[in-house]
Amino acid sequence: MKRVLAVVLAVVAVASVFPGCGGESDERAPFTGDTGKKVLIIGFDGLDWGRFERLASEGRLPNLAALADSGASGVLRSVPPYVSPTIWTSIATGKLGEKHGIGGFTVYGVSGADSVTLISSKEIRCRTLWEILADSGMSSGIVGWLVAYPPLPVTDYTVTSKTVAAMSRRVGRFIIKSDIPLEATVHPPELWGEIEPLGTRPSEIPEEILNGYLGKTSGLEDGLIEDRTDFLADRLAADLTAVAVAEKLIPERPTRLTAVYMAGCDQISHFFWRYWEPESWKREDQIPDEAVEAYSTVIDRYYENVDEMAGRILRLRDGNTIVVVCSDHGFAGHRGHSGFEPTPGRETAFGQYMHRQEGVIIVHGPGIAAGERIEGATILDVTPTVLAALGLPAARDMDGRPLASAFEPSFLDRHPIDEIATYETGERAGTEAPAESPVDEEEKELLRSLGYID
């Protein structure tokens, strides 16, 4: 504990105003001390609160429902414009995009006037949760997190979203860019050789598994509608890959913080919403009844799959682990989120316009209030809450605050919530050019298909 105290005080002593991050140096209250707890974050992109509540009440999400019932849970409000890289970086920093510097999926004009380059961790201006923990002598491990490439050498291990994409796409129609080594997507680089065999390829998913997501398939079998199961297989393969990596690394390389991210829930919602709510589809091309019968079940059944994946990861925790399940936003579909006014030709509300504010937050574990309904939480509160769970102070230059109501009063009595001015040290400029990855072209193709980029 003395070591942690010395490191935190040292951070405060050198804190300075950081470009876009704010923060002022001052005297602070005594450090509350390490709680000794571990934290497991499970992030599901696009997990919607309304759909979660409905499916949980129907008994279709047993793992997540049990976690919510015996923990603290509620709506996690997102922040416009509901763009995933921006939001997940806010979740990992406790700060708005104007401070952390990630404004979307891409940066334009880096290698030419018309160039489109995917965003990378080099553009993050503020210290992330894993950097803060490293400063405090606490270990962390990351699986699949957005905007974690290239990986920062501050974690025990980092498997980026680029790694997961490469592992799940090396066979089939995807081509990996050969002049960037795949080892560059992980930290430490030698980890690639250990995890590469764990990848699930779309072609390896049995047809009967894919058909289990579908409804009435006679129109598909008769060739009356387009086969959309290739996209389902692609997204399922990526999520299964992330889970398999987590199942290997969490027990083999225990850390104080583990963060696992999966994107499939959002992407499946984008692709299959038109069949679940065909009345919201306003384009000229009509949706055949046979397509609605086949594909209207996919989103709900993918939520069931999300619950199964959560269960696999939850089995890896011990009794000293506080679990945080969160999403970056909810889903409104082709109707568009509240306040969205579609422009002519964009009535289907592609990309971030299909998102809505109401995501999911569940906190569970030792010291967490059972059955508590969390009110007023935002995506900015995740990092401060994780810091409180570990016994570290939040920072006043963060835009979020710890969710005190999620903790039992006795926990807070032992570990009062503390704060400091800032964790910024002036080391993160966030102005470097984005780093290309081996799977950028394939990721651009996916983003175009979902309406995120042109």
- CATH number of residue 19's parent domain: 3.40.720.10
- Asked if the structure places residue 408 within a domain, the reply is no
Residue 436: closest CA among 172, 86, 111: 111
Query: CB–CB of 173/439 below 8 Å?
Result: no
- Asked if the structure places residue 444 within a domain, the reply is yes
Provide the 10 A C-beta neighbour count for residue 178.
8
- Asked if the structure places residue 454 within a domain, the reply is no
Q: What is the CA angle 305-308-309, rounded to 5? A: 90
Query: CB–CB of 425/401 below 8 Å?
Result: no
pLDDT at site 1: 40
Please state the domain count of the chain.
Answer: 1
- Asked if the structure places residue 435 within a domain, the reply is yes
- Asked if the structure places residue 292 within a domain, the reply is yes
For 254, the domain range is 2-402+419-449
DSSP H helices, 205-351, are: 207-211, 218-221, 229-252, 264-276, 289-295, 298-314
Q: Report the phi/psi class of residue 36: left, alpha or beta, with left for phi > 0 and alpha for psi in -120 to 50.
A: left
How far apart CA 181 and CA 185 sit, in angstroms, is 8
- Asked if the structure places residue 56 within a domain, the reply is yes
pLDDT at site 216: 95
If you count DSSP H runs as helices and E runs as strands, how many of each does the chain have, helices first? 17, 15
How far apart CA 416 and CA 132 sit, in angstroms, is 19
Pairing mode, strands 106-108 and 116-118: antiparallel
- Asked if the structure places residue 383 within a domain, the reply is yes
From first to last of its 454 residues, what are the pLDDT tens digits of the chain? 433 333 333 333 333 333 445 444 443 333 458 999 999 999 999 999 999 999 999 999 999 999 999 999 999 999 988 899 999 999 999 999 999 999 888 776 555 556 678 889 999 999 999 999 999 999 999 999 999 999 999 999 999 999 999 998 754 444 555 678 889 999 999 999 999 999 999 999 999 999 999 999 999 988 889 999 999 999 999 999 999 999 999 999 999 999 999 999 999 999 999 999 998 887 767 899 999 999 999 999 999 999 999 999 999 999 999 999 999 999 998 877 666 665 555 544 467 788 999 999 999 999 999 999 999 999 999 999 999 999 999 999 999 999 999 999 999 999 999 999 999 987 766 666 777 888 887 788 887 777 777 6
Residue 384: closest CA among 35, 94, 30: 94
- Asked if the structure places residue 10 within a domain, the reply is yes
How far apart CA 52 and CA 69 sit, in angstroms, is 13
Q: What is the pTM of this model?
A: 0.89
Query: CB–CB of 190/174 below 8 Å?
Result: no
